[in-house]
Chains A and B, each alone.
Chain A
Amino acid sequence: MVDELLFFMEVLVGGLLAGTMYSLVALGFVLIFKASATFNFSQGAMVFFSVLAFCGFMQDFNIPFVLAFILAALLMVVVGLCTERLVLRPLMNASEDTVLMATIGLGYVLEGLAQAAWGVEVRRLDLGIGDFPVPWIADNLKLFISALDITAGLVAALMIIGLFLLFKYTKIGLGLRAVADDAGAASSIGIPLKHIMLLVWSAAGVVALVAGCMWGARAGVQFALVDLALKALPVLIIGGFSSIPGAIIGGLIIGATEKVLEVYIGPYFGGAIEGWAPYVLAIFFLLYRPEGLFGEKIIRRV
C-alpha cells in the first residue's frame, strides 16, 4: 500500500515537473498574447530555432556556454525585431485569424532557416544537469525525481515571478497591459507601440530559448521539439491565454494528468495516450470554461 502510494506520488511529481516544461513554452505564448492579443503559433518554432542556434554556436564555433547563450538571446531579439517590422506592422489592422495564419507561416520560416543553417541531425545538449534521479531525494523521501525536472521547475518559477513583477509593478508592464487592452488608445496617449512589440517579442524569444534548453537537454535538440511545443496549446486553453499564473497551473495540470492517465489507464489502451489526452482535456475545458481557469472572459459584441 505504501509502495503504491509512493509510486503514485512519484508519477504525480514527475508529471507536475514535466508539466513545468510545457509551462515554459506556454509562457512565451502568454507574453505575446497579453501584449498584443496575437496568437503566436510560431512559439514552438522559436523554441526550436533558438536552442538550435545556441547548440550551433557552442558546437560548431566552440563558443563558451555563457557567451553562446547571450548570442542566442541576441539572435532572438533580432528575430523579434524582424517579426515586428516585417510581419506584425503590416498586419496591424488585420483580423485575428489572419495574424494567426501569418504566425503559422513565420513558424515555417523559422524552422526552415534553423535547419538550413544548422543542419537536420539531432544534437545533444549538455547543461551539466543530469536527467537522472537526485540521490538525496531518492534516499530520504524514496521518490525518484530527475534533477533536470527540478531545475526546469525552479527556472519556471523564477521566470514567472520575474514576469509577474514586470507586468504588475513596472512602467513597461503598465504599458504592455495598456497595449493589450486597446492598442489604438494606448498609442494615442504616447505609448510607443513599436518598442512595446519589440520588447515583448524579444522577451518571448528569450523565454523560448530557456524552454528550448530544458527540452533540448531532455529529448535532444531536434525537429520533434516543434510538435512537443504544440502541447503548450492545451496548456493555454486550460490556464487561459492571458494569464501568466494560468500558464503554470495549466502546465502542471496537463503534465500531471497525462502522466497519471498514461501510467494508470494507458496500459488498457495500449499506451501512448499522452499524445492526445491533453487535447481532449482541453476540449472539456473549452466546453465548460472556454476562457480557461484564469483568463479574462471574452465578450464578443455584434
Chain B
Amino acid sequence: MKPVFMTYTKKDLINLAVCMVLSVLIIPTFISTEYWYTSILIPWLCLALATIGQQIVMGYTGQLALGAAGFMAAGAFAMFNLILRVPDLGFVGSLIVSGLIAAAFGILFGLPSLKVRGIYLMVATLASQFFIIWMIDKFGWFKNYDSSGIITAQDIVILGKPFTTPLAMYFVCLAVTTVLTLLAMNMARGSTGRNWMAVRDMDIAAESMGVSLLRTKVQAFAISAFYCGVAGALFAFCYLKSLEPVAFDIKLSFKILFMCILGGLGTINGAFIGAAFILLFPVLLNAVGNNVFHGAIDATIISSIEQVIFGGLMIIFMIYEPLGMAKLWETLKHNIKSKLTSLDITSLKSSKLKKPRK
C-alpha cells in the first residue's frame, strides 16, 4: 500500500482550505434554516459521494454501469442490520463494513465487465439493480421482519454522542464525504487511477503494457460499489431517515448517471457540480413555477418539463461538450485567467483543445 495522503500540491491545499472554511465555518454560521440542511446540503453530499462511485467505474475506467442505486441499497440495508445486530461495531465501523458489503456485490456484478462492454455491460449491471432490490424486498430478515415496508433508521450515535440535529448530520456527511473525496482524488492521481484510465482509453493497449484487466476492472467495480454503499447508508440514515427498497429504484440509478455525465466524466469535482445541478434545478424550477406563474402550472407538468430539460441537456452536452460541466468550468477559468494576465498562448491553446473522447 502506497501512502495515501501525500500527493497534494500547494494549489490543492489552498482549494481544500477554501472548501473546508466554506463548509465548516461559513455555511453553519450563515444558514440556519433546517430546510437547507435536510433537503439540499445533506442529499447533495450523499449523492455526490455516490456519483464519485459512478465516476470511478464509468468516468475513470470507462465501463458503462447503471446500478449505482442497487449498491446504495445494499449499503443502506447492511448499515441497518449491522447497527441492529452488531451494535459493538459503532457507527463508523458499521459504515465501513456496509461499504465493504456493497463492494462484495460490486465485485460479483462487475465480473461480466471482463467479457463485455458498452450497452452489454449496462444490461449486466441492470441485473444487479433489480436483483439487490428484489432480494431486500423478499427476504424479511434484511428488514428485520418489518411488515410495513418502511423501516425507521436508527439514530446516529458516534462515541456515545447522538447526532440527530440537521446540523450534526450535515457534519457527519461532510466528514465522510471529505475523507472519501480526498481518497478518491489520490487514487485517481496515483497508479490506481492511471491503470483505470489506461483501461478506459484502450483496454487492449493497456493489457499489452502490463496492466491487468482483471485486477483493474474488478478493483474499479469494488471501489465504486464501496463509495455507493457508504453513500447509500448516509442517504438512508441522514436524509431519508427511513429504509425502503423503493427509494433505491432504477430512477435513482439514472439520476446518478445524469449527475455523473452532466457533471463531467472522469472528474471528481464534476460529481459535486453534477449532483448540485440535478438537485437544485428542480428546486429552482418549482420556485419559478410558484413565484412567477403563481402556481398556474401544475406540479406534474413542472416535473415533466424538468425531465425534458435534463434529457435535452444530456443531448446538448453529448454534442458540444462530452466532458460536462466540470470542463465548462475549467474553460471558463482558463479564459478569465488568460484575460486577466497578459495573453498567455499556451493556456489559451490548452483551454481550446478538446480532448477526443474514446
CA distance A60 to B23 in the complex (A): 52
Q: Is A271 touching B138 in the complex (CB atoms < 8 A)?
A: yes
CA distance A39 to B120 in the complex (A): 10
CA distance A114 to B134 in the complex (A): 29
Check A227/B64 contact, CB under 8 A, given A105-B313, A112-B307. Answer: no
Q: Is B127 touching A105 in the complex (CB atoms < 8 A)?
A: no
CA distance A62 to B310 in the complex (A): 33
Q: Write the A263-294 contact mask toward B (1 if CB under 8 angstroms, else 0).
A: 00000011111011001101100110010000
A96-104, A122-130, A148-156, A163-171: which lies at the B interface? A96-104
Rounded to whole Å, the gap between the CB of B72 and the closest CB of chain A is 17
Q: Is A104 touching B257 in the complex (CB atoms < 8 A)?
A: yes
> Is B250 an interface residue when CB atoms closer than 8 A count as contact?
yes
Check A276/B204 contact, CB under 8 A, given A108-B308, A112-B311, A270-B139. Answer: no
Q: Is B205 touching A302 in the complex (CB atoms < 8 A)?
A: yes
Q: Is A94 touching B304 in the complex (CB atoms < 8 A)?
A: no
With both beta carbons as reference points, the residue of chain A lying nearest to B300 in the complex is identified as: A120
Rounded to whole Å, the gap between the CB of B14 and the closest CB of chain A is 34
Q: Is A233 touching B131 in the complex (CB atoms < 8 A)?
A: no
> Is A86 an interface residue when CB atoms closer than 8 A count as contact?
yes
> Is B233 an interface residue when CB atoms closer than 8 A count as contact?
no
B123's partner among A95, A279, A287 (CB-CB below 8 A) is A279
> Is B314 an interface residue when CB atoms closer than 8 A count as contact?
yes
CA distance A116 to B311 in the complex (A): 14
Q: Is A100 touching B319 in the complex (CB atoms < 8 A)?
A: no
Q: Is B318 touching A102 in the complex (CB atoms < 8 A)?
A: yes
For A99, what are the chain B residues with a Cβ–Cβ distance below 8 Å?
318
Q: Is A112 touching B116 in the complex (CB atoms < 8 A)?
A: no
Residues 113 to 140 of chain A near chain B (Cβ within 8 Å): 113, 115-116, 119-120
**Number of residues from A at the complex interface, CB < 8 A:** 50
> Is B312 an interface residue when CB atoms closer than 8 A count as contact?
yes
Q: Is A94 touching B318 in the complex (CB atoms < 8 A)?
A: yes
Q: Is A290 touching B120 in the complex (CB atoms < 8 A)?
A: yes
Q: Is B300 touching A115 in the complex (CB atoms < 8 A)?
A: yes
**Number of residues from B at the complex interface, CB < 8 A:** 45
Rounded to whole Å, the gap between the CB of B76 and the closest CB of chain A is 19
For A108, what are the chain B residues with a Cβ–Cβ distance below 8 Å?
307-308, 310-311, 314
CA distance A91 to B317 in the complex (A): 11
A102's partner among B115, B120, B319 (CB-CB below 8 A) is B319
With both beta carbons as reference points, the residue of chain B lying nearest to A121 in the complex is identified as: B300
> Is B357 an interface residue when CB atoms closer than 8 A count as contact?
yes
CA distance A279 to B250 in the complex (A): 14
With both beta carbons as reference points, the residue of chain B lying nearest to A300 in the complex is identified as: B204
For B296, what are the chain A residues with a Cβ–Cβ distance below 8 Å?
none
CA distance A106 to B120 in the complex (A): 20
> Is B353 an interface residue when CB atoms closer than 8 A count as contact?
no
Check A276/B304 contact, CB under 8 A, given A97-B118, A102-B314, A282-B123. Answer: no
Q: Is B319 touching A91 in the complex (CB atoms < 8 A)?
A: yes
> Is A214 an interface residue when CB atoms closer than 8 A count as contact?
no
Q: Is B134 touching A272 in the complex (CB atoms < 8 A)?
A: yes
Check A119/B204 contact, CB under 8 A, given A100-B64, A282-B123. Answer: no
Rounded to whole Å, the gap between the CB of A254 and the closest CB of chain B is 12
Q: Is A116 touching B116 in the complex (CB atoms < 8 A)?
A: no
Q: Is A119 touching B315 in the complex (CB atoms < 8 A)?
A: no
CA distance A185 to B153 in the complex (A): 60
With both beta carbons as reference points, the residue of chain B lying nearest to A108 in the complex is identified as: B311
CA distance A268 to B192 in the complex (A): 43
For A90, what are the chain B residues with a Cβ–Cβ distance below 8 Å?
319
Check A273/B134 contact, CB under 8 A, given A96-B118, A119-B300, A233-B123. Answer: yes
With both beta carbons as reference points, the residue of chain A lying nearest to B305 in the complex is identified as: A116
Q: Is B204 touching A287 in the complex (CB atoms < 8 A)?
A: no
Q: Write the B56-99 contact mask toward A (1 if CB under 8 angstroms, else 0).
A: 00000010100000000000000000000000000000000000
Q: Write the A158-176 contact mask toward B (1 if CB under 8 angstroms, else 0).
A: 0000000000000000000
> Is B294 an interface residue when CB atoms closer than 8 A count as contact?
no
Q: Is A280 touching B318 in the complex (CB atoms < 8 A)?
A: no
Rounded to whole Å, the gap between the CB of A57 and the closest CB of chain B is 19
Q: Is B301 touching A286 in the complex (CB atoms < 8 A)?
A: no
With both beta carbons as reference points, the residue of chain A lying nearest to B356 in the complex is identified as: A95
Q: Is A105 touching B315 in the complex (CB atoms < 8 A)?
A: yes
Q: Write the B229-252 contact mask toward A (1 if CB under 8 angstroms, else 0).
A: 000000000000000000000100
Sample of 19 A–B contacts (CB below 8 Å): A41-B119, A99-B318, A104-B254, A104-B257, A105-B312, A108-B311, A110-B311, A112-B305, A112-B307, A113-B304, A115-B301, A116-B301, A116-B305, A227-B250, A280-B127, A283-B124, A283-B127, A290-B120, A300-B204
- Other A-B contacts than A97-B64, A112-B304, 16 sampled, CB-CB below 8 A, are A99-B318, A105-B313, A106-B315, A108-B310, A108-B314, A112-B306, A112-B309, A112-B310, A120-B304, A233-B123, A237-B120, A279-B130, A282-B123, A282-B124, A283-B127, A300-B204
Q: Which residues of A contact B (CB under 8 A)?
A: 39, 41, 86-87, 90-91, 94-102, 104-113, 115-116, 119-120, 227, 230, 233-234, 237, 269-273, 275-276, 279-280, 282-283, 286-287, 290, 300, 302
Task: For the complex of A and B, list the 5 residue pairs with the smallest distance between their C-beta atoms, beginning with the closest.
Answer: A108-B311, A105-B314, A112-B307, A279-B127, A112-B308
